[in-house]
A and B are shown apart, each in its own frame.
Chain A
Amino acid sequence: MANLKEVRDRVMGSMGRTMFTHVAEGPINALSTCRDGSQVVLAGRNVFKIYGIEDEEFLERANLRVGRKLSLNFSCADVAWHQLDDNLLATAATNGAVITWNLSKSSRSKQDQVFTEHKRTVNKVCFHPTELHVLLSGSQDGTVKLFDLRKKESASTFHGRSESVRDVQFNPHRDYYFSFASTHENGNVLLWDLRRPDKAERFFTAHSGPVFCCDFHPDDKSWLATAGRDKAIKVWEVVPYKQIQEVHCVQTIASVGRIKWRPQRRYHIASCSLLVDFSINIWDIRRPYIPFAAFEEHRDVTTGITWRQDPHIFLSCSKDCTVYQHVFRDAKRPADHANPMGLCFNVKGDISFAASEALGGGGRGKGGSGMYASTRLPSFFRKNPDPTEQFRSVNSNLSVFTNRTQENPTAMDWFVKTAENYCLTGRPLSELCEHNAQVARQLGRHQIVQTWLMLKLIFAGLGTVSDKGVVTSPSLGRIVSLSTTGGQGDLLDRVSQHNETSTVTDMQEAKSTEPPGITKEKDPSEPGEAEPKSALPQSQATDNPAHADLTHVHGDFFFGDGEGGGAYNDYDSLPNMDHIQDWTLPGEAFQPRHEIIDRNPSPEELDRPDSPTSINESETVSLSNEKFLKGTVLSPTPMNPSFLDVRLMSPLVVDMLHHYAEQGDVQMTVSVMIVLGDHLKDQVEEQIQEHWLMSYVDMLGCFKLWMVATEIIKLSYLIGVPSVGTLNQNSTSIHSNCNHCSKPLTQKGWLCTRCQKLVNTCSVCHHVVKGLYVWCQGCSHGGHIHHIQEWLRTNRQCPAGCGHCCQYT
């Protein structure tokens, strides 16, 4: 029966509820409960009251702050209720007095004895756990005093020479009857023997900064916890004749003002902060990073914690003038909010996954060891009834899932290969489509293949069909043979044949469609235009020689067409051409760009063969387009039904672009947009085009496909999205400082206006540098690359002697 009653008592005890009372007088600095925990005394600067703790509420029992003269003696920094005598209280006053109170006194004022020996504020008072008349006090003046309450003055004074005393605490264990600890503002913790006031028995530096509190473990005799301004709670193992060791350390988020071990829970300790953080945290010292439980009721700094014997209930007081009773049932469990897993995709489709071992993230057979057992895991994990035992250090496992096979929906290899191999310009549209279809086919992307082939049929195919009646159409034959054989070698042959047959017709075409005036006007720009086109085959020559030849041959057409003579028939024509033009600068990189900038973007001109969609095709298409543009208005030629098709198709193709974009394949959208170029002019809002282009360029950036990205940026000019096209021209000017006087060079990059000297001479040989100049961005010194290399082999600092540690990385 007795056993049953005990159990019931315990359950009843833990049935307490979270409750609080507000003390009107002001902030509370400390609290202490009587032996049986039924009453609590609250003390503060203006508060000194006793409350009874009922089941549902706090009831005020007595106000000890009475009397005519409320001296500073009533202003309490700390209060202690004797654990043997329910009538005996002690307070530490801010004026340095230590006062005892006898509740059994019949008078209104219960004040008993006043010791005014400390010179400054008394921070802490502490009764001996088993001796009735022994009281300790620790003061800001740096001393600890021992009082025998039967005497009128202190029995002994302990001076630790360690600055102010913040806390004193008797060792509660019988074996250490004479032992107590004091903590000091300089970070030291001193362990004393009551009988030896002259010298501390042991001392150690526990914290960097003041140690605000300490607490002996109620069960483990060797453990002492300390905490301080360095935000740490440390547990020390104090064993006689052995070095004092730090066994646990909890790093909290704010300086710790009070700590208190949780009864019956070996590893749990409650802490509250001195500033910033108003919550009370219960830590499991084995998991020093996340509080086991948190109580966030207080609205200001918590100043005192005391457990009510039951491990599930404790009291706290605060500067917000309230005293709370907290029960664990209402605790917050920060760990439950903590995300137990991390998950991230990378650009290549790899998945990085970190998960708590307890959630099967491990597969090491440790399931159920985590703290989530109570609520989340299926019931068979809930066998262990005590969640506190499961709150232990939990680890995560990190793994990366990679997948490089084509079937993988997240792998992005197709994207990289496609981006690298697609051909977007420089060749007839039909060939571009065919080529790109081929690329897609190799990657097994059949839908894309079909799309490209369809595009070819719609735009290139129909264009030639329309010409069929007017001129002989070699293009059509080419398409057919291409799609039937697809062999690259054949292509070359065919083109050479085509070369013979079509030169004349092409020239005729050009003449028939363009007035002579325009042809002439076009002439001067030709060399410049020819450059990018003839440069293209070189870049592709490695992987695709047939195409190289193909384009090259077309290049010849072009010259044949424009200048009336087929002078350049082989690869050597490229350098020759440079020579013939007699360019003074290596201007090939710049020339086309200026052409583009100065270009008058009238549709007629853009449609001319010198647009990037190259020669043969663009002639036929420009033919059809011009007819398309003007034909209805000007040209009396009868409409060919296929033109209607192109017009009908265009919105469809635009739909398709949108579709691919919606499907996340912006690559396809952009590629088609660029290949079709002017065919889709004005059919898609420029804003959306820009969005697509930038998305694609960003994506290319993700994969470090800078070359492709640059090409896309360059080409976006030509399809009329200059806002993207100018990207490459941003921040191309580098401002530098004179390397003599460090004056910023604003106007000229080579002459300093202040020292009238040539700048950027080599810092090693002091000669003007021609060619490669290396330059430290930090100190703006530099010079010949060889000289700097040589210098830095043996030195770390700048050769100019400026003291800068130059970095060339």
Chain B
Amino acid sequence: MFVARSISAEHKDLIHDVSYDFHGRRMATCSSDQTIKVWDLTDDGDWQCTSSWKTHSGSVWKVTWAHPEFGQVLASCSFDRTAAVWEEVVGESLASTQRGQSHWVKRANLVDSRTSVTDVKFAPKHMGLQLATCSADGVVRIYEAPDVMNLSQWSLQHEINTKMSCSCLSWNPSRLHLPMLAVGSDDTNPSAGGKVQIYEYNDNIRKWQKVETLMAITDAVHHISFAPNLGRSYHLLAIATKDVRIITLRCLRKEPNAGANPGGMSKFEIRQAAQFDEHSSQVWRVSWNITGTVLASSGDDGCVRLWKANYLDNWKCISVLRGDGSVSNTAGSSTGPNQLGLAGTGGNFGGSRGFKQGGSGQSSMWY
């Protein structure tokens, strides 16, 4: 059972984003009231606001943490057309090193956009300290801090013109594959074509190239998220549009001479793994758990729904969490025992065949 704990956030307007840090012990919220608040988990399990400061002169759309390897660093983006990088400064006085108020300093202000910056995300750690932003006029910008110790210096490495009003982006976290970005658009005109574009970095020409447009998605996309890739051979992409979509991208073998052919792009087999319209209309957010096995989505119905694939790779709703904290586990309880039963019979280890079955039956089981 999920236990809901309500936090009095005391933002003066809508909260647009919440973001956990790498270890899940800190949380940042950002709001239209132009502030960011940082929350720390106390030893008794309460969330305590340790910092709240005015960040932008417009709504702050997104806030995101950098990998702790780079320090305690946040990035935010705003309606005021800027993105900013913030670093926590360890207080000089003893009082602030104890659980008091911490101090965040603006290290960089990225002012290249001419319209609202709608999303900002740090690249996966193995790519170094890189930052991608996208803006309402359709430009995705990739910044890099060449010196990870100097957070005030960011050079604009790439500008990608997506030719659609961008609302969200997501890095592919896989270290095995080429750097990849997915960009979504909240353009409401369905005839404007696919609303999700996939870009891949081509090492040979040192450019980002569009490798795919998901033509199946023609409604406004509000959020997009790659699942953590823990050794999976394919990529999972969750999309929040008027419904929840889960897309698998399987990298097909490259052309034999991809290395010699500088324009060679990866090809993907794209499959829609799931589509749910249980949220009555718009779906606003999607988020993966750390293993990329459970997807949470939230929509206009005010609920959080959790989705999980069973052993046949059918995605099912396993839980519904209401905004007021109540939990209705109807979906979960109906499929739960069933799954258990299946897994029980799956444990047949007669021979190699049985082993395989057991292996696949496992997916429904492990908690």
Contacts and interface: CB of A to CB of B under 8 A. Distances in A.
A626 to B, nearest CB: 25
A354 interface: yes
B356 A652 contact: yes
Contacts of B360: 659
Contacts of B359: 447, 451, 655-656, 659-660
Contacts of A805: 92
A405 interface: yes
Contact of A372 (B223, B232, B300, B306): B300
Contacts of B47: 400
Contacts of A659: 359-360, 362
Contact of A355 (B1, B291, B293, B298): B298
**Which of A289, A393, A652 has its CB near the most chain B CB atoms (within 10 A)?**
A289
B175 A360 contact: no
A584 to B, nearest CB: 36
Contacts of A399: 4-7, 323, 325
A387 interface: no
Nearest to A449: B347
Interface stretch (B15-23, B139-147, B193-201, B258-266): B15-23
Most central of A351, A406, A703 by chain B CB within 10 Å: A351
Contact of B18 (A343, A446, A704): A343
Interface in B209-243: 222-223, 228-234
A666 interface: yes
B349 interface: yes
Tell me which of B231, B232, B302, B326 has the highest count of chain A C-beta atoms within 10 A of its own C-beta.
B231
A644 interface: no
A348 to B, nearest CB: 5
A361 B323 contact: yes
Nearest to A277: B81
A109 interface: no
B48 interface: no
Given A231-B57, A339-B61, A352-B18, A809 B367 contact: no
B284 to A, nearest CB: 5
Contacts of B32: 289-290, 338
A361 B362 CA distance: 35
A283 to B, nearest CB: 12
Chain A contact-residue range equals 35 or more
Interface stretch (A62-70, A315-323, A407-415, A760-768): A407-415
A69 B284 CA distance: 62
A603 interface: no
Contacts of B327: 401
A786 interface: no
A343 B29 CA distance: 10
A343 B285 contact: yes
Contact of A341 (B298, B319, B358): B298
B355 A454 contact: yes
Given A398-B6, A409-B367, A451-B359, A658 B352 contact: no
A412 B292 CA distance: 12
Contact of B3 (A252, A402, A699, A809): A402
A807 B14 CA distance: 39
A407 B329 CA distance: 12
A445 interface: yes
14 contacts: A252-B57, A337-B186, A342-B18, A343-B286, A343-B296, A354-B9, A360-B323, A361-B324, A396-B9, A450-B347, A661-B230, A661-B231, A664-B292, A666-B231
Given A363-B322, A400-B27, A796-B92, 15 more contacts: A343-B287, A352-B18, A360-B303, A364-B324, A393-B12, A396-B14, A400-B7, A401-B2, A402-B2, A448-B366, A648-B352, A661-B231, A664-B293, A665-B291, A666-B230
